[in-house]
Structure 1
Amino acid sequence: MESLTAVPAAPPPAHIVLVPTHLWGHARPMAVLAARMVRLRPVIVTLCLGNKIASRARGEIMHDIRAGPLGSGGEEALARLRVLEVEQGADHLDPAVFRDSFLEAWGRLCAGETVRVEAMDGTPCEVDFKTSPPSAVVVDVFGSEITAALHALREQAPEPKGLRIYSWTPVSSSYTAVRYSMNPLAMIEAVAAREGMSLEEAAVSVVSTPRGTAVDCPCIPPVYDYELEPQGFIWPRELMLRVWVKGARALRHVEGTISFDAREYHSEAAAIMRDLMGRTGKKVYFAGPLLTARSNEKCGRGAVAGTELGRWMDGQVEKRGARSVVYVSFGSLFWPSEPVKVFAALEELMDLGVPFIMPRSSPLVKLPAELERRMEESADVWLDDWLPQQDILEHPAVGWSLTHAGHNTVLECIQAGVPMILWPITVDQGPNALHLSTNLRIAFELLEVRSGTGAGPVRRLGDKRLSGTVESVRKEVREVLGRAFGEEGERMRARVGEVSGVLEAAWASGESAGDKEGVARREVKAFIDDVSAYPPARLVQAKST
């Protein structure tokens, strides 16, 4: 009789937990990443989202599944993508409530409990670390306390648990390369030890006290340290401690990082970032651009088609021609430190008869009553509290974007073929503005809008001194708009199209003749394969009898 050999059971699929914070600009690209992970490999992904943004993130996932660069037909993967909602609180910057809510759910899972969630296909299911232990967790660098807590649990375990922790880097590689080349954590720790200061006080001394020091990094033009904060932005102390001390220390405990940036957006900066991380044996995976797909429809994905806003934009095309509208946005978190300069710029747009669209997404936006009344009464201004930015940028009416140079907006503008007028405030916006205006030459940077300590001499312009007055802002805005709507602007538009093509190729399938698989697609697959090669973490301890 022929013996039968048992066929070993197939190993369970890898389980990856993704943890952005409650900030929409951090969570949205991670939601897109989750949608692509379950398409590229048969993995299980649990995406942890703040309860106030979860519904919007689900919409981004569904659109990417149906119309994204991986093609249609990905609905069967939705069952492997679960969304775990956690409380996020009311503070638009502080992730403390999100942190505590997530760690409470994590603790329950590690104690052997199950947490009921809903998969993206609508079926109820459970997150259960006993039957589906995680192979890796990816945590937003802004959630550094979460990374520290997970690392501490890993270190306190009586036996190796195998949990692999990665960071999520939702800023441009330009910023990471410049800032971490300066090694701020080492300086903060040295100052604290030498001066007998707290780390918080030392962080203020090192990061928020510019000294006019020359910064020479090969990926950006030469600048002084204060030019990296062109609005003289004063970081709240707790935020500074979270980013520059806790965040930097948390990076010591991770196996690597996933960057939401596109490697080819700034290849020199990406190489520096990879080198800096590689010195401590950590990998960098460039997953960007992580934008929901462009539609072939006239008005983007349909969010504005047939709406009052869509009809307004169609009317601007009929009245003034394509690319006649300026989209004005400073993002959902920040606002220039001298609002009077913003008001002057908006008045110049109206005085020049340039139609524009402006969302009031940030809670910091406060317009003078008379200016707001004038804008609301103008037939050439569209003002609203929240607007579908990507759909607007892809509409043929929009020719330019006046923006803070936040990286999500930058990538959306490039994807839509829209050149920019830049008013950087903080974080990655200063390095972005330098790269876009000087290296890529697809944007103008406004200089007279600089404020406070950020308004010193401009190093790359031979130490040019700025006036910084409201009148000088008005003059610069008029000059830049004249150039933008002239031949120089059209040359920039052509270059944006070239850069857009390069970034679009990052997610190419490699299946067409003469086409090779895109770098982002390769790197996300490499990340999944890397974590899948290790046994899953043993987080739930067997109970002793």
Structure 2
Amino acid sequence: MSLPNQSPKNIFFFCIPAWGHSKPVVALASKILESRSDLSITFFTFGTVYPKILDEIEKIPDGKSLGMREDMKKRFLVIDVCGMVFNPVVPVPAFTPAFEALWKGEPIKCLSSGKEHTNLARPCVAILDPFAGYAIEAIRDITLPYPNGPLPMIGWLTASAGAGLRILGPKEVGGIGLSGRLDMKTIRYGTEQEVMPLMGAFSYSCTGEVVSIPGVPTMYDYEYNPQELTMNASILEEIGRVYISHFDGVLFASAASYDKDALKTIEGWLGEGDVFPVGPLSTATQEKTTTSSREDLLKVGDGDDASQAKAVEFLDRMEKKFGEKSVIYISFGSLFWPVEEDKMWATIEEFLANDVPIVFAHPSPFKKPVSEEKLRSLRENPIAIEFPWAPQETILMHPATGWFISHGGWNSTQEAFVYRVPQILWPFAADQPYNSALMSQVHKAAFELINVRTGQYGTQLPYRFKDLAKSEQPKFTVDAVRKEIDDLLVKLKGDEGVK
């Protein structure tokens, strides 16, 4: 797709207030700006992620010429127009007048910095989150009549291609498919009081149907719901299904080396010239090495100074005592959290009982208050450390870190790739079950925990175990979790773990 002839060209970005959607924007923007000196980028965002985006920009390398980062920062304008909004489901009324001001060349005030931005170029293309339906509709209305219709819009999918197929695709390609029950008024103008009761209204009703997605191990449909959830945002997925096929093209933060078969299927669905794999996306410049210096680790900039220093001190100590690749890092991302915490604590206790050091992060705002007694036991244990928000890249870069227990979200998976830390996967929802199956069964590059599954769907028999004797099938109990961890430790230290 060619862009309209306009100079200087301004690319507009917007995505929902989720860090996994916002963080990769910085990596992609840096690549775009480095390749084209005649471009600028305007990124509308939220106060909840604004400071983290600025921190991420500081990690952009200087590039081929001195001062590249400073030049790019001048052309990459991050503007908080939405304020301290966390809920990604509810439409944000502030977006429409802010974009209208941008389109008309009027001043726009950043709510976080207080700075007023003036003389911004009118966008020539918008790169948009398919889950932000209200923004898509507003841009369409504001930019009509454009020379040949509304402003060109490109979808921004910060997930692997196969996960996009399952969550957003039609039934004929293995997707859930549209329900047709979501009305435009809710998408565009729904209030929190109107939207929140609908959070689970568009959940897929699992029937035990066998799902086959190109390049992915066959699974029962209920295996895409392996955990009981503290929140259900099925309405968000339904919004994505409404808009994904309406874009002029779709950017996937993935690569053919990861899920090429799914990408081919998506090209057949959306159009061969309309699918653009642009990942993995990361601003990281240093891969995990055995010689990462303390200075390198402390300047990564993915946490406050105190938490980074605390993490590095602990990991230095563990490396000295247990050696390289001895520590297991545990984090379920910024949103997800186990409902059955007994299984989580059983996992942690089993590692510690076997003298395996751990770093435990618990940032989810949807979790119940974490037991102070449990946290105190970690603080008092010489081979454990806990963080409400851990400096993840600093931890993954450290040579002491050997494994990463992750929910399998795409951001965490990409960072695991960059720092070459293999994963032990504990998926919850969204793209995570797909990533976990692909990594553990196709690429043979991860382990997946099974007995940790919970809820009505999670504790049904997985397809991969259907031919086993009942005595060998998963039990989904706390005792079964403990045994699975013990068996896993044998694998980690054996040939399979080395591979």
TM-score (normalizing by structure 2)? 0.84
Asked if 2 retains the 8 angstrom alpha-carbon contact of 1:117 and 1:127, the reply is no
1:474 alignment counterpart: 482
1:512 alignment counterpart: none
Query: Is the aligned partner of 1:287 residue 2:278?
Result: yes
1:441 alignment counterpart: 444
User: What letter corresponds to residue 236 of structure 2 in structure 1?
Assistant: R
Partner SS, residue 267 of structure 1:
helix
Matches within 5 A, 1:100-139: 100-115=93-108, 125-128=117-120, 132-139=121-128
Query: Is the aligned partner of 1:342 residue 2:344?
Result: yes
User: What letter corresponds to residue 431 of structure 2 in structure 1?
Assistant: D
Partner SS, residue 449 of structure 1:
coil
Partner SS, residue 47 of structure 1:
strand
Offset of residue 209 of structure 1: 1.8
2:206 alignment counterpart: 210
Asked if 2 retains the 8 angstrom alpha-carbon contact of 1:457 and 1:463, the reply is no
CA-atom RMSD in angstroms? 3.0
Map Cα deviations across residues 411-441 of structure 1 (whole Å, 9 max, x no partner).
1111111111111000000000000000111
Query: Is the aligned partner of 1:166 residue 2:170?
Result: no
Offset of residue 52 of structure 1: 2.8
Map Cα deviations across residues 459-488 of structure 1 (whole Å, 9 max, x no partner).
123355421111001110111122112222
Matches within 5 A, 1:239-388: 239-244=233-238, 246-278=239-271, 283-295=274-286, 297-299=292-294, 300-303=296-299, 307-365=309-367, 366-388=369-391
Question: Compared with structure 1, are the counterparts of its residues 353 and 250 closer, same or farther at alpha carbon in structure 2 (3 Å cutoff)?
Answer: same
CA distance in 1, matches of 2:146, 2:406: 51
CA distance in 1, matches of 2:237, 2:6: 38
Task: Tell me which moved more, 11-20 or 201-210.
Answer: 201-210
Map Cα deviations across residues 263-304 of structure 1 (whole Å, 9 max, x no partner).
32222222222222117xx61211211111232743555347
Map Cα deviations across residues 433-461 of structure 1 (whole Å, 9 max, x no partner).
00000011111111111112122111123
CA distance in 2, matches of 1:240, 1:462: 28
Offset of residue 184 of structure 1: 3.0
Question: Compared with structure 1, are the counterparts of its residues 72 and 440 closer, same or farther at alpha carbon in structure 2 (3 Å cutoff)?
Answer: farther
Asked if 1 retains the 8 angstrom alpha-carbon contact of 2:18 and 2:88, the reply is yes
2:137 alignment counterpart: 148
Question: Compared with structure 1, are the counterparts of its residues 450 and 308 closer, same or farther at alpha carbon in structure 2 (3 Å cutoff)?
Answer: closer
CA distance in 2, matches of 1:386, 1:189: 39
Give the structure with higher Rg (CA).
1
Partner SS, residue 235 of structure 2:
helix
User: What letter corresponds to residue 270 of structure 1 in structure 2?
Assistant: L
CA distance in 2, matches of 1:483, 1:443: 11
Partner SS, residue 41 of structure 2:
strand
Runs of 5+ unmatched residues, structure 2: 184-194
Asked if 2 retains the 8 angstrom alpha-carbon contact of 1:140 and 1:168, the reply is yes
Counting aligned pairs with the same residue, the percent is 27
User: What letter corresponds to residue 489 of structure 1 in structure 2?
Assistant: G
CA distance in 2, matches of 1:158, 1:385: 47
1:489 alignment counterpart: 497
Map Cα deviations across residues 472-507 of structure 1 (whole Å, 9 max, x no partner).
01110111122112222111xxxxxxxxxxxxxxxx
Matches within 5 A, 1:464-543: 464=468, 465-491=473-499
Q: Which one scores higher on RCO, CA 8 angstroms, separation ≥ 6?
A: 1
Question: Compared with structure 1, are the counterparts of its residues 371 and 158 closer, same or farther at alpha carbon in structure 2 (3 Å cutoff)?
Answer: closer
CA distance in 2, matches of 1:124, 1:235: 37
2:459 alignment counterpart: 455
Aligned residues: 459
User: What letter corresponds to residue 76 of structure 2 in structure 1?
Assistant: L
In the alignment, which of 425, 447, 469 is matched to residue 428 of structure 2?
A: 425
Partner SS, residue 315 of structure 1:
helix
Question: Compared with structure 1, are the counterparts of its residues 183 and 153 closer, same or farther at alpha carbon in structure 2 (3 Å cutoff)?
Answer: farther
Offset of residue 204 of structure 1: 6.0
CA distance in 2, matches of 1:28, 1:256: 21
User: What letter corresponds to residue 452 of structure 2 in structure 1?
Assistant: V
Offset of residue 252 of structure 1: 3.6
CA distance in 2, matches of 1:63, 1:190: 43
Question: Compared with structure 1, are the counterparts of its residues 441 and 14 closer, same or farther at alpha carbon in structure 2 (3 Å cutoff)?
Answer: same
Question: Compared with structure 1, are the counterparts of its residues 358 and 152 closer, same or farther at alpha carbon in structure 2 (3 Å cutoff)?
Answer: same
Asked if 1 retains the 8 angstrom alpha-carbon contact of 2:89 and 2:235, the reply is no
Task: Tell me which moved more, 398-407 or 50-59.
Answer: 50-59
Task: Tell me which moved more, 102-111 or 437-446.
Answer: 102-111
Asked if 1 retains the 8 angstrom alpha-carbon contact of 2:161 and 2:263, the reply is yes
Asked if 2 retains the 8 angstrom alpha-carbon contact of 1:259 and 1:288, the reply is yes
1:231 alignment counterpart: 227
Question: Compared with structure 1, are the counterparts of its residues 311 and 347 closer, same or farther at alpha carbon in structure 2 (3 Å cutoff)?
Answer: same
CA distance in 1, matches of 2:93, 2:337: 28
Question: Compared with structure 1, are the counterparts of its residues 91 and 54 closer, same or farther at alpha carbon in structure 2 (3 Å cutoff)?
Answer: closer
Runs of 5+ unmatched residues, structure 1: 1-9, 193-198, 492-545
CA distance in 1, matches of 2:334, 2:196: 26
Asked if 1 retains the 8 angstrom alpha-carbon contact of 2:297 and 2:398, the reply is no
Task: Tell me which moved more, 445-454 or 87-96.
Answer: 87-96
TM-score (normalizing by structure 1)? 0.77
2:188 alignment counterpart: none
Offset of residue 90 of structure 1: 4.6
Offset of residue 72 of structure 1: 5.8
1:400 alignment counterpart: 403
User: What letter corresponds to residue 226 of structure 1 in structure 2?
Assistant: Y
Asked if 2 retains the 8 angstrom alpha-carbon contact of 1:117 and 1:126, the reply is no
1:89 alignment counterpart: 84
Asked if 1 retains the 8 angstrom alpha-carbon contact of 2:89 and 2:236, the reply is no
Partner SS, residue 266 of structure 1:
helix
